[in-house]
Amino acid sequence: MSSPAPMLKLKPNAASARVLRGHPWVFANEVEALLPAEYDGEVVGCRDRTGRPLGTGIYNSKSQIVWRRLGQGRVVLDAEWLLGALGRALARRGIDVGRDRRTPPAETPVVATEAQHDAAENRRGSATPPYIGRLVWAESDELPGLVVDQFGDTLVAQVQTLALEKRAALIGDLLTELTGATEIIFRNDSNLRKLEGLPAEVHTRSGRPWEPRWASIGGFDYWLDLAGGQKTGFYLDQREQHPAVAKYAAGKRVLDAFCNQGSFALHAARAGAAKVLGLDSADDAIAAARRNAQRNNVSAAFELANVFDWFTAQRDAAPAWDLVILDPPPFAKSKSAIESALRGHKELNLRAMRALAPGGVLATYTCSHHMGDAELRGVLAEAAADAKRRVHVLEFCHQPADHPVLVTMPESEYLRGCILRVE
């Protein structure tokens, strides 16, 4: 007879555990006892305090999140199950996986050296460009800790859980089969890996180095360093917001704060802005933004600056901007930091409102899941009151559909914002 499957059980006093309301996580302090380390990175079951099954998930005794649900029933984390989960993730994004994709696609790669990129654009003509976007968004796609972005024929994967790290080579093979990708870059340099007891590293599936090159995204060429740039090389989650904000830019003076590679600034300049200035505190971001502006033949200036300090230096100047974009990095990387993050966002939005001419537009965002819609709206209300400005919402903004939100997991929703008219 086979031995019974390993099983976690919630403590008798764990009645408030979020897993009981559909959340996919169980924390170490919510279970009666941990399992032996031999089960780390493997699939185990979990039951509530009465013995009712809660599903099957991946286990890691080294992590504060000891269990992450894969499914309600029995799951074997093998090639067949992974292929099914990956296929469902692609199907959610409208990507056809019904035909054999084991041979790389015939289309010209979207990423290339500068000369190859120009030649590819001439050959492609009216052909449908290769997919650029998020393919896998962790728990929202039944694959805890796995994030995959596609840039044409190159995929960038982040593996942040022990169980999927043990199966990373298999996942790479399956992704190649499904997408026809010619290369996968494993950007396993996130600090989240430390919480799973995993080392930080970056490597490619082929073992060959991946050199920076041009990529066409949203009608613009960007010089991308997918192996060494921030996150997975480009902030794909904001690509729908770039044109959404640019429609307010024609003839306007535009300030793009925390500009990174300059996407908002480039879109505003091409939309006919009278003046565009981008600010960022990172040397490499400013260098990339200037290179991108030159490549795309748009008029935009970029300055190395701490945005808070820059606004402070301008506080006595007359309102000089008609459109201000605030897209800062996360201020609240943990729940304990939320109070200081709210103060920071309030102060930042206050300074931006004061810098806007009457009737100007403020596009403001937060990328911390700890800061919900109610918190963001509260911050904006406080800033408007202190600025003594009448502020209306033009648009509410959220992450795109290829970053799906799991309704039982608030952490899967992290990007939100508002486009405001400041009178």
Q: What is the DSSP letter of 10?
A: B
The answer to whether residue 67 is domain-embedded is: yes
**How many structural domains are present in the chain?**
3
The helix (run of H) or strand (run of E) holding residue 301 is strand 301-304
Question: pLDDT tens across 328-344, in order?
Answer: 998 866 777 788 889 99
State the burial class of residue 97 (Cβ atoms within 10 Å of its Cβ: 0-12, 13-18, 19+). middle
Stretch 365-382: mean pLDDT: 92
The beta-carbon contacts of 275-281 under 8 Å, at least 24 apart in sequence, are 276/249, 276/300, 276/301, 277/301, 277/302, 277/303, 278/302, 278/303, 279/255, 279/303, 279/305, 279/307, 279/310, 280/304, 280/305, 280/307, 281/305, 281/306, 281/307
pLDDT over 70 percentage in the chain = 91
Q: Does the pLDDT at position 46 exceed 80?
A: yes
For residue 316, what pLDDT band results from cuts at 50, 70 and 90?
confident
Domain of 396, CATH number, reads: 3.40.50.150
- Give yes or no: residues 385 and 257 share one domain: yes
- Give yes or no: residues 102 and 191 share one domain: yes
- pLDDT score for 229: 81
Find the range with the poorest average confidence among 106-110, 136-140, 202-206, 414-418.
106-110
Last residue of a domain, one of 28, 48, 71: 71
- pLDDT score for 114: 54
Active site residue 367: yes
For residue 363, what pLDDT band results from cuts at 50, 70 and 90?
very high
| Cβ atoms 412, 139 nearer than 8 A | yes
- pLDDT score for 102: 42
Q: Does the pLDDT at position 63 exceed 60?
A: yes
- Give yes or no: residues 46 and 179 share one domain: no
- Give yes or no: residues 64 and 89 share one domain: no
Is 171 strand, coil or helix? helix
Q: Does the pLDDT at position 125 exceed 80?
A: no
- pLDDT score for 118: 52
Question: pLDDT tens across 269-307, in order?
Answer: 999 999 999 999 999 999 999 999 999 999 999 999 999
The answer to whether residue 53 is domain-embedded is: yes
Two tokens, residue 95: 């990507």
- Give yes or no: residues 112 and 256 share one domain: no
Q: How far is CA 120 from CA 101, 115, 154, 189, 255, in A?
A: 21, 9, 16, 32, 33
Considering 46, 367, 397, 418, which one is annotated as catalytic? 367
- Give yes or no: residues 272 and 394 share one domain: yes
- Give yes or no: residues 136 and 194 share one domain: yes
Two tokens, residue 359: 């009737």
Q: How many CB atoms lie within 10 A of CB 52?
A: 9
Q: Rounded to an integer, what distance in angstroms lies between the CA atom of residue 56 and that of residue 74?
A: 6
- Give yes or no: residues 303 and 417 share one domain: yes
Give the closest residue to 322 by CA, choosing from 258, 377, 275: 275
Q: How many CB atoms lie within 10 A of CB 222?
A: 25
Q: Which domain holds residue 306?
A: 235-422
Q: How many CB atoms lie within 10 A of CB 174?
A: 18
